[in-house]
């Protein structure tokens, strides 16, 4: 299945489910090892009160800390990619310079432009800035990054439309990404529609589990049985 075959209804259904439940649902299909397909705790959801971000990856690499202003920024090329990409889009950018802790990719101006072009979020291992401005000027736009850096340095896109690795998650152009306050996980396109139903079953099982914990019928043996199903 290609990203163009994923329906808007499926995208909307995925947005109603948290990322941790989506990760649990993916495990059911055994399409990859359980230690792959998700980002590390270094990648932080900057706007955790928003609904999950679900979109198709537009990829690039970037360097903001190499001195000198004689390199082409290629910003228009990135905007062209986002404009042409399947929607909703998520710009996924990996740092390639020598000083990532001082890197800064975007602020409210760029994020607002991305939103106008059909992007719903930005995911990167670079720093960013203007967090309050992004929320005010691009409401609903999501940002995943390690933290804030005050100056943008000299930003250059070094490669476009390539496989990237962001905080432990390998992302190819067109991958389906799901992210919220729990982190970011990639959903294999071949099972994307089936993941929705499986995630709903996961939620039903968890509801039954918590109902049991709160019930007068709670007992230790029953707890062990239920916990064993989640090992």
Segment 31-58 mean pLDDT: 97
Cis omega (within 30 of 0) for bond into 88? yes
pLDDT band at 230 (very low <50, low <70, confident <90, very high): low
Strand 89-95, strand 183-187: pairing: unpaired
pLDDT tens for 198-222 read 999 999 999 999 999 999 999 999 9
**Residue 179, pLDDT score:** 98
What is this structure's pTM?
A: 0.94
pLDDT of 1 above 90 = no
pLDDT tens for 144-190 read 999 999 999 999 999 999 999 999 999 999 999 999 999 999 999 99
**Residue 231, pLDDT score:** 47
**Residue 5, pLDDT score:** 84
Coil, strand or helix at 26: helix
The DSSP 8-state label assigned to residue 96 in this structure reads -
pLDDT tens for 49-102 read 999 999 999 999 999 999 877 777 789 999 999 999 999 999 999 999 999 999
Cβ neighbours of residue 120 closer than 8 Å, sequence gap 6 or more: 53, 54, 55, 88, 89, 90, 140, 141, 142
pLDDT tens for 10-30 read 999 999 999 999 999 999 999
Contact 105, 124 (CB under 8 A): yes
Q: What are phi and psi of 209, to 5 degrees?
A: -65, -45
E strand spans, the chain: 44-45, 53-63, 89-95, 119-124, 142-145, 156-160, 164-166, 169-171, 176-180, 183-187
pLDDT of 116 above 60 = yes
**Residue 70, pLDDT score:** 74
pLDDT of 227 above 90 = no
Q: What are phi and psi of 172, to 5 degrees?
A: -105, 155
3-199: CATH superfamily:
Ribonuclease E inhibitor RraA/RraA-like (3.50.30.40)
- How far is 98 from 224, CA to CA, in rounded Å? 50
């Amino acid at each position: 299945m290609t990203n163009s075959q994923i329906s808007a209804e499926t995208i909307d259904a995925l947005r109603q489910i948290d990322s941790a439940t989506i990760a649990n649902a993916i495990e059911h299909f055994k399409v990859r090892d359980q230690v792959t397909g998700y980002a590390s705790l270094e990648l932080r959801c900057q706007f955790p009160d928003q609904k999950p971000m679900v979109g198709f990856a537009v990829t690039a690499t970037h360097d903001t800390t190499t001195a000198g202003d004689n390199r082409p920024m290629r910003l228009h090329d990135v905007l062209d990619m986002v404009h042409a990409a399947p929607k909703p889009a998520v710009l996924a950018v990996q740092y390639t310079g020598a000083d990532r802790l001082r890197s800064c990719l975007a602020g409210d101006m760029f994020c607002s432009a991305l939103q106008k072009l059909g992007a719903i979020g930005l995911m990167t291992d670079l720093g960013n800035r203007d967090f309050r401005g992004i929320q005010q000027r691009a409401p609903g736009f999501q940002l995943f990054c390690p933290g804030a850096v005050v100056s943008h340095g000299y930003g250059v896109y070094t490669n476009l439309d390539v496989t990237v690795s962001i905080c432990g998650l390998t992302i190819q152009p067109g991958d389906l990404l799901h992210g919220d306050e729990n982190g970011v996980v990639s959903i294999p396109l071949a099972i994307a529609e089936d993941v929705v139903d499986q995630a709903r079953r996961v939620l039903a099982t968890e509801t039954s589990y918590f109902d049991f914990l709160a019930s007068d019928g709670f007992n230790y043996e029953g707890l062990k049985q239920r916990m064993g199903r989640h090992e």
